[in-house]
Amino acid sequence: MTPEDLSIISKIFKTPNPNEIMSKLNDMGRVERMKLAENLFEIMRRVYGTVLEPSIRETFIKIHSNMKKMFFVQLFRVDQRLKSDHRGWIPKLKRLRQIELFCDISDFDLLNIAESLVEVKLQANEPFLKQYEEVKGVYLLKDSANVFEFNSKVPVIARSGIFGDDACATGERESSITVKPIMNCTAQFIPRESFVKLIRSVPGLQEKVFQSVVERAKQGSIRAEEQRKLTQEILDNIGQGSFSINVAGEIGENYTALAADYLGSENLVGVPFADLAFRNDRETLRNYYRALHMLFSGAEFNHNVVLDLLPNDVSINNRDFKLQYSFVQDGAGNVMSVFVRMEDITLQLELARKEEQENAITSKMQSNVGGFMDMLEDIQKSYEKIGVFAEKYWVNNQQPDTQVINEMLRCLHGSKGLSGQFELKKLKTIIHNFEDWFLSIEKQGIEKYTDAFQELYTAFEQELDYALSFKENLGEGIIQILSGISFDLAEFGLLEEAAIKGDLNTIRSIVLSKNNVPADKITSNWKKDALRLAEKLRKTIDVQISIEKDLTIPKELAKKLNVDLSHLYRNCVDHGIESAKVRFEAGKPEEGIISVIIAKEDENLLIEIMDDGGGIDTQKISQLATANPHLDQQLIQKYIENNEHWRILFLPGFSSAEKVTDVSGRGVGMDAVLKTVESFKGFIEMESEYGLGTKIRILIPLLPS
């Protein structure tokens, strides 16, 4: 949807008067009205999607997509067809309604069926279906025809209606009856493939066909009884994904439309089920074919025991299914075919996973309530900055400069790290995708990615709302304390007395004591996050944190450092500490050590972060920096000449990572660290020895403001 589309909608609905709106709509052309309807339908999806739970929202989007195809493609096409030849189509629909099978089907579905009809002339007493010969399709007769079985010269019954549907619906190639028209007549013919496709696509039609087949079979012969068993087996599975498997493990012609949807293929005939479900699991694949071989071997054993060898659970096309098996036997007890029922348990498992995830988030929140509140505040600020960006650049389709993009990347990078600390995995992924978006528009321009922005922005808003919902588990009192300064009655009395006297020193002392927090708030959740990252990267580390006793610092400083300095210890894990193999070959212990020291030095806050990893490869840093045309090459040469290669790491846009991941590679993390330290009038320096490790030293003034 373009800004021009939104402008048109705004003009039409500017005045909330139904008559004026209808007048404006009547002035529009038919194509314009269709485009308007499609845009309004899309707006409905976006708005309604914001109020749904994530797991339900995905289902809603699929339903919306199917409805959109129905409203704006299929219905429109049917409407055009009827308008182009109204006199020709209406009689065809009336004739079809005279057949009981189609009497209560909608005009829309009936028109699709009518399109497949071919008119054929039938001669009296000349068979159009012959017993034991191939059935090429279905015949629809308004006039009566005689039905014969087993080459009998006496008809079993004379009837009109539909013929050949039993063979086509159940997958049999040959006809079980012979049918001859009583007099010369005209019939409507539907080819086999078209008929099978139609009954699967029209709601309830396949079930009616099977029911009709079964009812006729109940009144027939022994052969019909065998057919009844087969069709009843299929009938029992209506509403489920089900199909039959032959001795080779291939899917037969008996399968439901739902099975085709589940397995992602319109035509399943001859497709080995194992190739779709188990090809990546050798053991399951082996047991599957072993069980089939035993079932079809004709050996005498308990077939139900063999069914236990078949896998019961499988994931296909991002859906989870529970499988149930049954089989059909002939008179001698030999297995003729195996039927598989697929029950979609995706939502059930998704709800279980969601509950597990929510428990993990709640646990993290309860163990660090203050940190969780700070995280929400930080991410809300990121969301607000994106909103400001949208108003200035996205709405106007204006390309932002590199500085603006780098600022947005720094902001998002910090929020992404925080959301990961509190198990908000989907929010973390969306922020990561937003980083990709900003990097893409920097290289290729904003015009190419305007539509993608809206999807990301909506998803960000929804996941932020989800994160904010966890605040409901906290009492209002604790939220107020954590969100600002809270005074008890005695403290408020002291403040009032000091204010009356004009004693600013006392007021400052009381307020600052409330505003300060223990220095360990800086490292809140650092150790857990570092260990979790190390596990993800398959590294073994020990995180040692030492903080000066009774050291307190301003609350805002602690919050900011907790977020932005996380890039430093994460870089130690990702880039500094080597793999166990590399460390072993270098004669180091397999376990890497990351040390954090926080203390007061004179009137400064001292923070040191060290690792015993591989150190900085100055040659690699120089090569990467000089090869990047977006970096200030004069500044880079100055750093190289002064042997201060480490300063290159803090340049915006520089990264030493070989590929972008959700951990590193965007060139914004170290830049964010430097900006934060400088914003508090501090400075940063780094010492590194290749092969031995790196030490980062930060000093920030602690003078009261």
Per-residue pLDDT tens over the stretch 505-543: 777 677 666 667 889 989 988 898 899 889 888 999 999
pLDDT above 90 covers a percentage of the chain that reads 13
Q: Which SS3 state, helix, strand or coil, does residue 677 take? A: helix
pLDDT at 236: 47
pLDDT at 74: 61
pLDDT tier at 295, thresholds 50, 70, 90: confident
Do 77 and 105 fall into the same domain?
A: no
Structure tokens that stand for 648 in this block: 């290159």
pLDDT of 41 > 50? The answer is yes
pLDDT above 70 covers a percentage of the chain that reads 82
pLDDT at 237: 46
pLDDT at 606: 95
The secondary element (H helix, E strand) that includes residue 244 is: strand 241-245
For the chain, how many structural domains are there in total? Answer: 5
CA gap 316, 278 in Å, rounded: 9
Task: Specify the long-range contacts of residues 56-64, CB closer than 8 Å, at least 24 apart.
Answer: 57/462, 59/347
pLDDT of 69 > 80? The answer is no
Answer whether residue 513 is part of any domain.
Answer: no
Do 561 and 688 fall into the same domain?
A: yes
Answer whether residue 516 is part of any domain.
Answer: no
Contact 445, 350 (CB under 8 A): no
Amino acid (one-letter) located at 232? Q
Q: Which of 45-59, 225-239, 528-542 has the highest mean pLDDT?
A: 528-542
CA gap 79, 89 in Å, rounded: 11
CA gap 394, 388 in Å, rounded: 10
Answer whether residue 492 is part of any domain.
Answer: no
Q: Which SS3 state, helix, strand or coil, does residue 269 take? A: coil
Per-residue pLDDT tens over the stretch 300-333: 656 666 777 788 888 888 888 888 888 777 656 6
Do 552 and 694 fall into the same domain?
A: yes
Burial label, 382 (beta-carbon count in 10 A; 0-12, 13-18, 19+)? buried
Q: What is the mean pLDDT of residues 603-611?
A: 93
pLDDT tier at 215, thresholds 50, 70, 90: low
Which domain CATH number covers 296? 3.30.450.20
pLDDT at 545: 94
pLDDT of 704 > 70? The answer is no
pLDDT of 617 > 60? The answer is yes
Answer whether residue 397 is part of any domain.
Answer: yes
Answer whether residue 496 is part of any domain.
Answer: no
Give the CA count within 13 Å in the CB-facing half-sphere of 484. Answer: 4
In order of 195, 254, 333, 462, the CA distances from 266 in angstroms are: 14, 13, 33, 35
Answer whether residue 501 is part of any domain.
Answer: no
Do 299 and 411 fall into the same domain?
A: no
Rounded (5°) CA angle 187-192-195: 80
Do 457 and 580 fall into the same domain?
A: no
Where does 346-468 have alpha helices with state H? 346-367, 369-389, 402-421, 425-444, 450-468
Do 682 and 543 fall into the same domain?
A: yes
**DSSP state for residue 401 in the 8-state scheme:** P
- State the DSSP string of 568-630: HHHHIIIIISPPHHHHHHTT--SSEEEEEEEEEETTEEEEEEEE-S----HHHHHHHHHT-TT
Where does 116-256 have alpha helices with state H? 165-170, 192-201, 205-218, 222-235
Q: State which of 220, 235, 250 marks the end of a domain.
A: 235
Q: Which SS3 state, helix, strand or coil, does residue 119 take? A: strand
Q: Are strands 541-547 and 592-601 parallel, antiparallel or unpaired?
A: parallel
Which domain CATH number covers 646? 3.30.565.10
CA gap 676, 562 in Å, rounded: 11
| Other CB atoms within 10 A of residue 139 CB | 22
Burial label, 501 (beta-carbon count in 10 A; 0-12, 13-18, 19+)? exposed
Do 457 and 554 fall into the same domain?
A: no
The domain of 276 spans 241-344
pLDDT at 235: 44
Q: What is the mean pLDDT of residues 598-625?
A: 91
Which domain CATH number covers 100? 2.60.120.10
Amino acid (one-letter) located at 130? K
Query: Which of 9-23, 29-43, 100-114, 172-186 shows the lowest mean pLDDT across its residues?
Result: 100-114
Q: Find the helix packing angle between 402-421 and 555-564, rounded to 10°.
A: 100
Q: Find the helix packing angle between 205-218 and 222-235, rounded to 10°.
A: 150
Which domain CATH number covers 384? 1.20.120
Do 385 and 471 fall into the same domain?
A: yes
**DSSP state for residue 117 in the 8-state scheme:** -
pLDDT of 64 > 80? The answer is no
Contacts of 465 (CB under 8 A, 6+ apart): 50
Burial label, 539 (beta-carbon count in 10 A; 0-12, 13-18, 19+)? buried
Average pLDDT in the chain: 80
Smallest Cα–Cα separation from 527: which of 557, 555, 569? Answer: 569
pLDDT of 224 > 50? The answer is no
Per-residue pLDDT tens over the stretch 162-171: 898 878 876 7
Do 644 and 557 fall into the same domain?
A: yes
Answer whether residue 314 is part of any domain.
Answer: yes
Q: Which SS3 state, helix, strand or coil, does residue 18 take? A: helix
Do 469 and 569 fall into the same domain?
A: no
Structure tokens that stand for 6 in this block: 């939104």
Amino acid (one-letter) located at 529? D
Query: Which of 101-110, 371-380, 411-420, 530-539 shows the lowest mean pLDDT across its residues?
Result: 101-110
CA gap 340, 327 in Å, rounded: 9
Query: Which of 367-371, 387-391, 432-436, 603-607 shows the lowest mean pLDDT across its residues?
Result: 367-371
Q: Which of 149-153, 294-298, 525-529 has the highest mean pLDDT?
A: 525-529
**DSSP state for residue 272 in the 8-state scheme:** B
Per-residue pLDDT tens over the stretch 92-144: 777 777 777 777 777 777 777 777 788 899 999 999 999 888 999 999 888 89
Per-residue pLDDT tens over the stretch 174-192: 887 899 999 999 998 999 8
Query: Which of 345-349, 601-605, 660-664 shows the lowest mean pLDDT across its residues?
Result: 660-664
Q: What is the mean pLDDT of residues 341-351?
A: 82
Do 368 and 457 fall into the same domain?
A: yes
pLDDT of 223 > 50? The answer is no
Do 581 and 690 fall into the same domain?
A: yes
In order of 122, 179, 223, the CA distances from 131 in angstroms are: 17, 8, 12
CA gap 529, 569 in Å, rounded: 9
For 76-102, letters b (16+ CB in 10 Å) and e give eebeebbeeeeeebeebbebbeebebb
Q: State which of 235, 268, 292 marks the end of a domain.
A: 235
pLDDT at 477: 43
Residue 589 CA to chain centroid, in angstroms? 41
Per-residue pLDDT tens over the stretch 446-502: 888 888 888 888 888 888 888 887 766 555 444 444 444 555 667 777 877 887 887
Q: What is the mean pLDDT of residues 636-657?
A: 84
Answer whether residue 509 is part of any domain.
Answer: no
pLDDT of 366 > 60? The answer is yes
Q: State which of 59, 84, 109 marks the end of a domain.
A: 84
